[in-house]
Chain A
Amino acid sequence: MPTIKINYEDLISLIGKSFDPNKIKEVLPNAKCNIESIEGNIWTLEVTSDRPDHFSSEGISRTLKGLLGVEEGLRKFETKISDVEVIADESVKLIRPFIMSAVVSNLKLDDESIVQMMQLQDKLHDGIGQRRKLVSMGTYDLDKLGRKIFYKVMKLRDIVFVPLGYKNEMNGKEILEITEQGKKFRSIIPNDEAPILEDEKGNILSMPPIINGEQSRVTENTKNIFIDVTGLSKVRVEDALVVLSTSLCERGYGIEWVKVVDKSTSSITLPNDKNKELRISPEDVKKNLGLELESEKIIRLLRSVRFEANLVGGEVVVKVPIYRRDVFSSVDVIEDVAIAFGYNNLVPESYLMKTTGRPSEKKILERKAKLVMVGMEFQEVVTPFLCSLQKANKWNYNLGSKVIELENPSIEGYDSVRPSLIPGLLSSIRRSAHASLPHKVFEVGRVAVAVNSKVHEFTNIAAAISDDRIDLGEGYMRLFWFIKSVTGNEPKLEAFNFDNFLEGRSARIKVNDLFVGIIGEVNPDNLLEEGVRNPTVVWELNLEKLIL
């Protein structure tokens, strides 16, 4: 979940009414904002990814106004069509086809509001923008731009402007090589060209999704902001534009939607600013929440969480604010009814159900296996499902199989799926070097390998005995007892050569003519390599095959 920082003073001024900080702390969780820490006026909040409108203080203040009773019902935005126009060239269609724009006017900005605007853009970039790949956006001081904006693709060498935060002009290639953003996001665009925004005066305003120009930088003196959102997904472009412009609008007067003219077809695109309408009934609320509420009560509750709601023919017709991009169906509204009612005002209730509780067959078998092992005085250990590729390859004795590797390991030594429990047992013995002998350990756990590119996952049991003097016989007698007491069958051994075991001291285990595992004395060279200082005998069984 995203983490954002807000300024408490700024939040209060956006709410427009003073409240005790404790009151704010109390209602924030009902806006799905959890306070992580407070340092002076800076509050760090964990917000939820379904509410991009909560990625800055403006949107949060809007929700809080409802919860605090300052302002209820739908937030209406003054909207009109701007005289600014975006003309989209055909060249963008293969690279970054969608663009939507808006102007937010009559703004009163300060340092904090610029911080919040940048934070909102960053979080939108990271979330629905998939780190700018699917969506990216820019904000500009409108009064420094022309009124016709061209969206087109240019050769990198022909793109020349002063990037935001720099003093000198650079060409597109230099921007990708020199600027931080260029280095970070260059993989999103083609090698030798990039989309750009240019005004009718021929000023290059930005190079989406990489960087804006210094010339149209937004400062605290900026009165009117031009927003562009470009991307690969039309829905997401619209989501981002609506969230960003409605948030900015909390510090200004109105939103002007910018017409996007498709140069080749002359068709015009505008964002959809109609409020979504949904219908819910008291029965729906009862069915989902188990709460009997009259329509009037539902309407009151919904207004406190900033919906418009009216009774129409026995149903509540709900108008959804345009910044609520998370509302898809009636259940999404019903959750807001519950939040407005207060989760902790909902009385938990028992549901009587005729069911029989029982552990799974698999767990019953595992438990039985574990008890036999504990009866033989083995200590259970629990080791990770992931291990290093080197170890995994070394201990993969499953004929004709391959070790499964992770595409994106996060830590060294945990890049592959274990094909066997044995390396885990050996690391337990190594770690226990200071514990007195004998070391008798076992594990019941999952392993997996790929056979012909198909994943095979199974539950194994493995045991190891490490002692001053130990041999295959010591392992075999316990293996024999284990199989006999778990299954009633008696195992047979069949010679099997495996590099990690001593020759003539290793075998495959056969039960009812089915190979179920291996047993062997680990080669002393191998033990020393693993950091194990005493002779060690190990066996491993496939628990699922064992009970076939």
Chain B
Amino acid sequence: MSSFELSQIQRKILEFLLENKEARISQLAKDLKVTQEGLFSVIEALKNSGFLDLRETEERFLKLTEEGKLYLKQGLPERRIVNLIGSCGELDVSSLYKLGLSKEEVAIGLKWIKEKNWGYIQKGKLIVSKVPEVGEDEKIIQLFHGAEVIKESEDIKKVTDVLVRRNLLTIEVKKDGIVQLTEKGKEEAQKLEKIGFEPQEIKVISSYDMLSGEWKKKKIKKYNLEAKPKKYYGGSLHPYYSFEEKIREILVGMGFEESDGPFIEPEFWVFDVLFQRQNHPARELFDTYRLKNLKTSLNVTENVKVVKELHEKTYGEPWSEEVASRLVLRGQTTCVSARFLFERKKPPIKMFVISDVFRSDVIDATHHIQFKQIEGIMGDYGVTFRHLLGILDEFYKKVGFAEIKFVPSYFPFTEPSVEIVAKHEKLGWIEMGGAGMFRPEVLKAVGVDFQVAAWGLGFDRLAMIALGIDDIRKLRTIDLLELRGES
């Protein structure tokens, strides 16, 4: 039993005893304003816990019978008789009746005169040698002047027994006890004294409680651990972005520096530098979003002449600067690689981009008009196709695919070109994206003389797998219910 498990009344008892050393239960009951019987059971519990010693006592309370009350007024019959006889003398027993005593009283009186040895009867006469002093029994009866009940003290016990026998008194026995603290009880009481004998129950500790130390005097309500917490929604990063960060971390860890470029680009950087033939299906309106009424003027430093020459020589058709200066939403991030090489020009280069591209399409569970690509290039004099396969292998292992395969493919800007497929436990072989060695024409267009391995990998597919999403539209959800994980 700890202090906080003691009931309020128990704590009050301890408090009282700490102050008063010991207490009589009857008195305690009065002070604490509880019934004595109730108090007994409380004290019993404290005693069982070893906090208290209890000395049980009994008290007797005296009360006059009807007869006793009569004698309180008139005096005992034996006294009345001796008073009639006077200081010394004698009297006919028979005349006693004439003096107003009943026959019964006379009999009782005579019996007790004899018993108390106040006189004797000789030849029909009662002889009293002297008027007897007031006896102890009479003194007791006199105590009832002004008191209904008196407590019996030890010294009058013998006399009261006689009076009870004479049926003048009745005795009521009351149980009581004296309590005092044991050592353990004292300790407990002192502990309670420090924290207060009457602690408050609180749910929350205030800073005042904390700083003042008041919290120690308070009972802290136990938290209901079964109860559900209140609803709470903090801020969070979008899962789509969080996954982007994961991929970024992998690539940074592999020694790649990040770059990006504008979403809106002239066709020059999106197609022409990348050796995409003009009037090619991929440049057509049904693939690429073009801007209405907007064009840019190509800066001559942007290798326009080189590109024009390369195209016209290889494809045997006139190259149009007007077509190259049309603005489009980029359909791949390879244009960022091209711009990066054009600006940097010095190997070694390891660069990546995780950014958005656009395709004229429909929007449904598997198609979207905007998605992200993971673009990368690795450029140096000694970089070969096998190094490209090596870096792709390393990347997909880090992303979590144990097995990947390389399939011949075609991109206008790479030769050889390769498509990467990766094995997924449940989904089987999945197309991941394309890669290859930049064509000599592309390298010439951006003005570098070393080899460049390049790749453009699908980001959204990886994100869908990682996030367990099977509808591409949910990848960029804007619904707070979904983002809070409640739908």
Taking Cβ atoms with an 8 Å cutoff, the residues of A that contact B are: 1, 29-32, 34, 48-51, 126-127, 130, 134, 233-236, 286-291, 326, 328-329, 331-332, 334-335, 338-339, 343-344, 346-351, 353-360, 362-363, 367, 370, 373-386, 404-411, 414, 417, 424, 427-428, 431-432, 434-436, 439-441, 446, 448, 450, 453-455, 457
Which residues in B have their C-beta under 8 angstroms from that of A355? 255-257, 348-350
Contact of A335 among B416, B479, B483 (CB under 8 A): B416
Contact of B258 among A349, A360, A411 (CB under 8 A): A360
Whether B294 sits at the interface, judged by CB under 8 Å, is yes
CB distance from A179 to the nearest CB of B (A): 24
CB distance from B7 to the nearest CB of A (A): 43
Contact of B479 among A32, A329, A431 (CB under 8 A): A431
How far apart sit A424 and B477, CA to CA, in the bound complex (Å)? 11
- Whether A351 pairs with B378 at a CB distance below 8 angstroms is yes
Closest to A448 in B: B264
Contacts A406-B290, A407-B285, A428-B480 known; A380 to B256 CB distance under 8 Å? no
- Whether B252 pairs with A441 at a CB distance below 8 angstroms is no
Which residues in A have their C-beta under 8 angstroms from that of B393? 348
- Whether A127 pairs with B241 at a CB distance below 8 angstroms is no
How far apart sit A335 and B263, CA to CA, in the bound complex (Å)? 32
Which residues in B have their C-beta under 8 angstroms from that of A51? 410
How far apart sit A448 and B358, CA to CA, in the bound complex (Å)? 15
Which residues in A have their C-beta under 8 angstroms from that of B451? 287-288
How far apart sit A380 and B477, CA to CA, in the bound complex (Å)? 10
Which residues in A have their C-beta under 8 angstroms from that of B238? 379-382
CB distance from B278 to the nearest CB of A (A): 10
Closest to B262 in A: A457
Contacts A331-B440, A457-B263 known; A351 to B356 CB distance under 8 Å? no
CB distance from B350 to the nearest CB of A (A): 4
Which residues in A have their C-beta under 8 angstroms from that of B292? 404-407
How far apart sit A547 and B181, CA to CA, in the bound complex (Å)? 76
How far apart sit A367 and B262, CA to CA, in the bound complex (Å)? 19
CB distance from B399 to the nearest CB of A (A): 15
- Whether B407 pairs with A432 at a CB distance below 8 angstroms is no
Interface residues of B in 310-359 (CB under 8 A from A): 314-317, 327, 329, 348-350, 356, 358
The 8 residue pairs across chains A and B that have the minimum distance between CB atoms? A290-B384, A290-B386, A432-B480, A48-B410, A335-B416, A428-B478, A435-B480, A357-B252
How far apart sit A251 and B394, CA to CA, in the bound complex (Å)? 47
Whether B380 sits at the interface, judged by CB under 8 Å, is yes
Contact of B234 among A344, A377, A404 (CB under 8 A): A377
- Whether B360 pairs with A408 at a CB distance below 8 angstroms is yes
Of A287, A351, A376, A411, chain B has the most CB atoms within 10 Å of the CB of A351
Whether B417 sits at the interface, judged by CB under 8 Å, is yes
CB distance from A339 to the nearest CB of B (A): 5
CB distance from A280 to the nearest CB of B (A): 13
How far apart sit A457 and B165, CA to CA, in the bound complex (Å)? 120
13 further A-B contacts with Cβ under 8 Å, apart from A331-B416, A355-B348, A359-B252, are A130-B281, A287-B451, A348-B390, A350-B391, A351-B378, A357-B256, A407-B285, A407-B291, A435-B484, A439-B480, A441-B478, A446-B263, A455-B327
CB distance from A423 to the nearest CB of B (A): 11
Taking Cβ atoms with an 8 Å cutoff, the residues of B that contact A are: 231, 233-238, 240-241, 245, 248, 251-260, 262-264, 279-282, 284-286, 289-296, 314-317, 327, 329, 348-350, 356, 358, 360-363, 369-370, 378, 380, 382-387, 389-394, 405-410, 412, 415-418, 437, 439-441, 451, 476-481, 483-484, 486
CB distance from B383 to the nearest CB of A (A): 6
How far apart sit A6 and B315, CA to CA, in the bound complex (Å)? 30
- Whether A49 pairs with B317 at a CB distance below 8 angstroms is no
Which residues in A have their C-beta under 8 angstroms from that of B314? 328
- Whether A32 pairs with B259 at a CB distance below 8 angstroms is no
- Whether B412 pairs with A50 at a CB distance below 8 angstroms is yes
- Whether A359 pairs with B409 at a CB distance below 8 angstroms is no
Which residues in A have their C-beta under 8 angstroms from that of B383? 351
How far apart sit A29 and B248, CA to CA, in the bound complex (Å)? 32
Contact of A34 among B248, B252, B407 (CB under 8 A): B407
Which residues in A have their C-beta under 8 angstroms from that of B260? 360, 362-363
Contacts A355-B349, A455-B327 known; A346 to B476 CB distance under 8 Å? no
Which residues in A have their C-beta under 8 angstroms from that of B315? 235
Which residues in A have their C-beta under 8 angstroms from that of B479? 428, 431-432, 435
Which residues in A have their C-beta under 8 angstroms from that of B412? 50
- Whether A375 pairs with B235 at a CB distance below 8 angstroms is yes
- Whether B251 pairs with A346 at a CB distance below 8 angstroms is no
Which residues in B have their C-beta under 8 angstroms from that of A428? 478-480
- Whether A417 pairs with B264 at a CB distance below 8 angstroms is yes
- Whether B264 pairs with A457 at a CB distance below 8 angstroms is yes
CB distance from A74 to the nearest CB of B (A): 20
Contact of A349 among B387, B405, B441, B486 (CB under 8 A): B387
- Whether A32 pairs with B408 at a CB distance below 8 angstroms is yes
Which residues in B have their C-beta under 8 angstroms from that of A370? 237, 241
Which residues in B have their C-beta under 8 angstroms from that of A457? 262-264
- Whether B405 pairs with A344 at a CB distance below 8 angstroms is yes
How far apart sit A432 and B256, CA to CA, in the bound complex (Å)? 38
Which residues in B have their C-beta under 8 angstroms from that of A440? 235
Contact of A235 among B317, B405, B408 (CB under 8 A): B317
How far apart sit A339 and B407, CA to CA, in the bound complex (Å)? 9
How far apart sit A351 and B453, CA to CA, in the bound complex (Å)? 11
- Whether B264 pairs with A410 at a CB distance below 8 angstroms is no
Contact of B348 among A235, A353, A436 (CB under 8 A): A353
CB distance from A475 to the nearest CB of B (A): 15
- Whether A50 pairs with B410 at a CB distance below 8 angstroms is yes
Closest to B318 in A: A233
Which residues in B have their C-beta under 8 angstroms from that of A405? 291-293
- Whether B240 pairs with A382 at a CB distance below 8 angstroms is yes
- Whether B369 pairs with A411 at a CB distance below 8 angstroms is yes
Which residues in B have their C-beta under 8 angstroms from that of A335? 408, 415-417
CB distance from A518 to the nearest CB of B (A): 21
- Whether A329 pairs with B440 at a CB distance below 8 angstroms is yes
- Whether A455 pairs with B296 at a CB distance below 8 angstroms is yes
How far apart sit A48 and B410, CA to CA, in the bound complex (Å)? 6
CB distance from B218 to the nearest CB of A (A): 32
How far apart sit A516 and B389, CA to CA, in the bound complex (Å)? 46
- Whether B294 pairs with A353 at a CB distance below 8 angstroms is no
Closest to B418 in A: A343
Which residues in A have their C-beta under 8 angstroms from that of B369? 384, 386, 410-411, 414
Closest to B381 in A: A287
How far apart sit A408 and B286, CA to CA, in the bound complex (Å)? 8
- Whether B480 pairs with A379 at a CB distance below 8 angstroms is yes
CB distance from A19 to the nearest CB of B (A): 20
Closest to B240 in A: A382
Closest to A370 in B: B237
Which residues in B have their C-beta under 8 angstroms from that of A408? 285-286, 289-290, 360
Which residues in B have their C-beta under 8 angstroms from that of A359? 248, 252, 258
Contact of B358 among A358, A385, A427 (CB under 8 A): A385
Which residues in A have their C-beta under 8 angstroms from that of B358? 385-386
Closest to A233 in B: B317
Which residues in B have their C-beta under 8 angstroms from that of A351? 378, 380, 382-383, 387, 390-391
- Whether B294 pairs with A455 at a CB distance below 8 angstroms is yes
Which residues in A have their C-beta under 8 angstroms from that of B290? 406-408
- Whether A374 pairs with B350 at a CB distance below 8 angstroms is no
Contacts A377-B234, A385-B358 known; A347 to B386 CB distance under 8 Å? yes
Contacts A351-B383, A360-B258, A384-B370 known; A373 to B478 CB distance under 8 Å? no
Contacts A51-B410, A334-B415, A378-B235 known; A357 to B257 CB distance under 8 Å? yes
Closest to A51 in B: B410
How far apart sit A439 and B484, CA to CA, in the bound complex (Å)? 11
- Whether B257 pairs with A343 at a CB distance below 8 angstroms is no
- Whether A409 pairs with B289 at a CB distance below 8 angstroms is yes
How far apart sit A48 and B415, CA to CA, in the bound complex (Å)? 13
How far apart sit A385 and B262, CA to CA, in the bound complex (Å)? 12
A-B contact pairs, 29 of them (CB 8 A): A32-B410, A51-B410, A134-B279, A235-B317, A288-B385, A288-B451, A334-B416, A343-B406, A347-B386, A348-B389, A348-B392, A355-B350, A370-B237, A375-B235, A381-B477, A385-B358, A404-B264, A405-B291, A407-B290, A411-B363, A417-B291, A417-B329, A432-B480, A434-B481, A436-B233, A450-B294, A454-B296, A457-B262, A457-B264
